[in-house]
Amino acid sequence: VSLVKPVEYAEANPAVKAVYDDIMATRKVAAVNNFWKVLAHDPDTLKRTWEEVKAVMQPAALDALTKEMIYVAVSATNGCEYCTYSHTASARKQGMSDAMLAEVLAVTALANKTNRLANGYRVPVDDAFKPDF
Amino acid sequence: VSLVKPVEYAEANPAVKAVYDDIMATRKVAAVNNFWKVLAHDPDTLKRTWEEVKAVMQPAALDALTKEMIYVAVSATNGCEYCTYSHTASARKQGMSDAMLAEVLAVTALANKTNRLANGYRVPVDDAFKPDF
Amino acid sequence: VSLVKPVEYAEANPAVKAVYDDIMATRKVAAVNNFWKVLAHDPDTLKRTWEEVKAVMQPAALDALTKEMIYVAVSATNGCEYCTYSHTASARKQGMSDAMLAEVLAVTALANKTNRLANGYRVPVDDAFKPDF
Amino acid sequence: VSLVKPVEYAEANPAVKAVYDDIMATRKVAAVNNFWKVLAHDPDTLKRTWEEVKAVMQPAALDALTKEMIYVAVSATNGCEYCTYSHTASARKQGMSDAMLAEVLAVTALANKTNRLANGYRVPVDDAFKPDF
Amino acid sequence: VSLVKPVEYAEANPAVKAVYDDIMATRKVAAVNNFWKVLAHDPDTLKRTWEEVKAVMQPAALDALTKEMIYVAVSATNGCEYCTYSHTASARKQGMSDAMLAEVLAVTALANKTNRLANGYRVPVDDAFKPDF
Amino acid sequence: VSLVKPVEYAEANPAVKAVYDDIMATRKVAAVNNFWKVLAHDPDTLKRTWEEVKAVMQPAALDALTKEMIYVAVSATNGCEYCTYSHTASARKQGMSDAMLAEVLAVTALANKTNRLANGYRVPVDDAFKPDF
């Protein structure tokens, strides 16, 4: 159970309803998921976070699928159950296959492993890796 | 300074030299970077890690650039200085522009933010996100 | 289910009972929560941890509410389910409103975001931020 | 050295200059710190992050000092060197004494300790801690 | 529920069956646990991970019990529920008593605490701790 | 540079001096390391942390070397530079060889990898791993 009561559409104030409407229109879905209903207790964070998600996750230098897979990699690293389920679902909508998910998690696991070898041995950064400006 | 002395090529045993040779041949570089020289104190981990890196990072369902960008996202999340420098350099070799790096880090930062909102409010996972098998 | 069986008051040894009694008296509650019942398998850690909680969380240079909110921020960052529920409850007892919880989590989320931007870009520390002693 | 070259005021484009000007005016300082100069390579993230910092960190249900101390607690937990230095400096400007810093870090350390005891023993959440709605 | 359907023995392909057989033979158990059944969707990662587990966890410079206890310490630190349950079970098979588990978690908790004190205060590394080569 | 000025023995107050004396006597060393000198700004945390280190790290159900290696594993996982250097030094004093360090870090790296595979795939805990009380 969440720490604050999820705000359903029918009981939302106009500012919250406007964000819900935009989420549903942008994503072409009939309802918003729990994350937004819980954030709605704090309408400023709801609005700011949705606008950031909309701006950051839209295709630009990277396509939408690549962005969702990076989201999954970070969420798996942090052990965030909710974000792992929700962004895996989003990535699948963008075309992620089981084989692609397997590679996302294989890279994520490998990076978490070598991060600890590098940090554990305190490997000094090679000069060649440092930008020269 | 690293916790164990990096093993230079000239002083490496044949098993280590074989791995160094394969790294240099595969990557078409003239020397191996510090990570491998430090791991060389433990030839089994050196060999196993290099073979995993080679297998996991090669293009398959995902291309090599996408994999390197996921590596950067995980390394930034974990705060691993060495891995951030080294895998940013690898990603640039694969074609990552400054604009793409900016988007990798913007998504990484956003995911780290929403991971804590989801975990902090203990948002329950929507049934719609769960696979039905 | 916990990894070791929680120790109920009736079956506790005198050393554990003394800690339970002090927790109930200090907090003016009729029973101890699961965290202490599980720790009771290791009476030394139980006693040491309770005494540290009692000493560190009492009002001094910071008031008790501020301390509980910092506890919530750390627990949300680490994704500790138990600590998020228990310290949110404690913070509410000390007067944290829904609006205050919203701000605790908004700051926590923002800090987790900028931590990764700073670490991901490897931003060098400004001299101005370093103490000069 | 940062992964991208810091953007100095003189060489900044108008969008970046506008953010720099707002930072300097809001904080009454004569220059912006490295974090913003590095973010400036990605003007959208620069603008969005600064506006979020300005909105989230202003006094509301919590005062500005409490918010800065939460920022320090999260940054210490994540091991972000840059953020620890910069937000400790900000917190001191808001009035944090050495004694208050000591308590912020004592609570942060204690929370990191008990988070692992709770997660390590898999302590089940008490029903009493769950909201009943 | 897992993100991909666990692969039961009867429906596994020969490559997966071979790994399952080796796990069961090596561990002298009648079935493999869920971790391997889920990984089986990605036979390469299944095989590579099992071979790494088998090689790394066998007694060598450290005995098998010490290795399992280190596994528990890392899993508790990362808040990995699955790994905490499974590696606690493995450690108990190797002879870990309740008293030993209590000490593993007491050290883990203490290290997580002092890690944040050291990182939070930015304590400089003593020269005496650095190897001189 | 640390956030607060390290307290040298000559300038320490009697409470701090008593802790320093006990550290030097217990460890048979001629000076305390920077961690304690920085903590000394907060004599209560200094005293409490030292007493916890002394009690938790002494041989009991686990020997002192095993405990130090767990400390190294946690510190490498969290990326704490100071703790990695200082506890590797302590572990070496207790008899950790280069081969043992290599195995500590190989297990740590493997655990960090499988933690993310388990969390990323959301593997459900097998009933067999749960205690039945």
Q: Is the ipTM of this complex over 0.85?
A: yes
Where does the pLDDT of residue F133 fall: very low under 50, low under 70, confident under 90, or very high at 90 and above? confident
DSSP E35-80: HHHHHTTSHHHHHHHHHHHHHHHSSSSS-HHHHHHHHHHHHHHHT-
Of D82, D16, D76, residue with least CA distance to D49: D16
Contact between chains at E133 and B5 (C-beta distance less than 8 A): yes
Burial class (CB in 10 A: 0-12, 13-18, 19+), F25: exposed
Contact (CB, 8 A) for C101 and D62: no
Residue of chain A with shortest Cα separation from C85: A3
Query: How far apart are the C-alpha atoms of A44 and C105, rounded to whole Å?
Result: 12
Reported as a single tens digit per residue, the pLDDT across B50-101 is 999 999 999 999 999 999 999 999 999 999 999 999 999 999 999 999 999 9
Task: Note the pLDDT of residue C120.
Answer: 98
Q: Which chain C residues are closer than 8 Å to D33 by Cβ?
A: 126, 128-129
When scoring C98, C116, C122, C125 by the number of chain B Cβ atoms within 10 A, the one with the most, hence best to mutate, is C116
Q: Are B104 and B87 in contact (CB under 8 A)?
A: no
pLDDT value of position A133: 85
Burial class of residue F94, CB neighbours in 10 A (0-12, 13-18, 19+): middle
Chain F adjacent subunits, 3+ CB pairs under 8 A: A, B, C, D, E
Best of F51, F69, F107 to disrupt the E interface by mutation (most E CBs within 10 Å)?
A: F107
* Binary contact (D80, B84; C-beta < 8 A): no
Calculate how close chain F gets to B80, using CA atoms only, in Å: 7
Q: Which two tokens stand for residue B14?
A: 């044949």
Whole-number Å distance between alpha carbons of C18 and E64: 38
- pLDDT tens digit string along C76-97? 999 999 999 999 999 999 999 9
Dump pLDDT digits (tens) for E79-92: 999 999 999 999 99
CA nearest to F70 within chain E: E70
Euclidean distance between CA atoms A67 and A57, whole angstroms:
6
Q: Is C34 helix (H, G, I), strand (E, B) or coil?
A: helix
Q: How confident is the model at residue C132 (pLDDT cuts 50, 70, 90)?
A: confident
Q: Residue F78: list chain D partners with CB under 8 A.
A: 79
> How does E107-132 read in b/e, with b if 16+ C-beta sit within 10 Å?
bbbbbbbbbbbbbbbbbbbbeebeee
Q: In the predicted model, what is the mean pLDDT of chain B?
A: 97
- Count of C-beta atoms within a 10 Å radius of residue E9: 14
Average pLDDT over residues F33-58: 98
**Which sign, positive or negative, has the C-alpha torsion B46, B39, B82, E108?**
positive
Neighbours of A21 (CB within 10 A): 13
Smallest CA-to-CA distance from D71 within A4, C77, B84, F82 is with C77
The string of pLDDT tens digits covering residues E83-125 is 999 999 999 999 999 999 999 999 999 999 999 999 999 999 9
The answer to whether residues E82 and F125 touch, using CB atoms and an 8 Å cutoff, is: yes
The single residue listed with the structure tokens 């002298």 is E28
Residue-level pLDDT at E132: 86
Q: What is the mean pLDDT of each run of 10 residues along chain D (133 residues)?
A: 97 98 97 98 98 98 98 98 98 98 98 98 97 88
CB F87 within 8 A of CB F68: yes
* Contact yes or no for B44 and E55 at CB 8 A: yes
CA–CA gap between residue B113 and residue C116 (Å, rounded): 9
- Determine the pLDDT at residue D133: 86
How does residue F38 score in pLDDT terms, banded at 50, 70 and 90? very high
Q: Phi and psi for C78 in degrees, rounded to 5?
A: -85, -5
Report the predicted TM-score, pTM, of the whole model to 2 decimal places. 0.98
The residue-averaged pLDDT of E53-63 equals 98
The model's pLDDT over F81-116, given as tens digits with 9 standing for 90+, comes to 999 999 999 999 999 999 999 999 999 999 999 999
Mean pLDDT of A111-127: 98
Structure letter (DSSP) for residue D93:
H
Instruction: Round the average pLDDT of chain A to a whole number and report it.
Output: 97
Chain A touched by B10 (CB under 8 Å): no
What's the angle, vertex CA C89, arms to CA C85 and CA C90, rounded to 5?
Answer: 120
Check A98 against E45: CB less than 8 A apart. Answer: no
Any chain E CB within 8 A of the CB of A85?
yes
pLDDT band at F132 (very low <50, low <70, confident <90, very high): confident
> Could you tell me if D81 lies within 8 Å of chain F, comparing CB atoms?
no
D-F Cβ pairs (cutoff 8 Å, strict) = 21
| Cβ contact B89:B111 at 8 Å | no
Quote the CA–CA distance of A77 and A73 in Å, as a whole number. 6
CB-side exposure of D1: number of CA atoms within 13 Å? Answer: 13
Kindly report the nearest CA distance between residue E111 and chain B, in angstroms: 17
pLDDT at B133 over 90: no
CB contact under 8 A, D124 and C34: yes
Could you tell me what percent of chain B has a pLDDT over 90? Answer: 98
* Minimal C-alpha gap between B4 and chain F (Å): 8
Minimum-distance CB partner of E112 among D81, D104, D113: D113
Which residues of chain F are within 8 Å of residue E5 when distances are taken between CB atoms?
none
Question: What is residue D43's predicted lDDT score, i.e. its pLDDT?
Answer: 98
Residue A57: closest CA among D53, B114, B118:
B114
Whether the CB-CB separation of C80 and D118 falls below 8 Å is answered with: yes
Write out chain A residues lying below 8 Å of D1, CB-based: 130-131, 133
Q: A-chain residues within 8 Å CB-CB of C85?
A: 3
Residue A108 has pLDDT above 90, yes or no: yes
- How far is C45 from chain E, CA to nearest CA, in Å? 7
| Confidence bin at E70 (pLDDT 50/70/90) | very high
Count of alpha carbons within 13 angstroms of residue C27, beta-carbon side = 20
- In the predicted model, what is the mean pLDDT of residues F51-78? 98
Chain F contact for E80, CB < 8 A? yes
Within 8 A of A112 by CB-CB distance, chain F residues are: 112-113, 115-116
On whether the CB atoms of residues C56 and C67 are closer than 8 A, the answer is yes
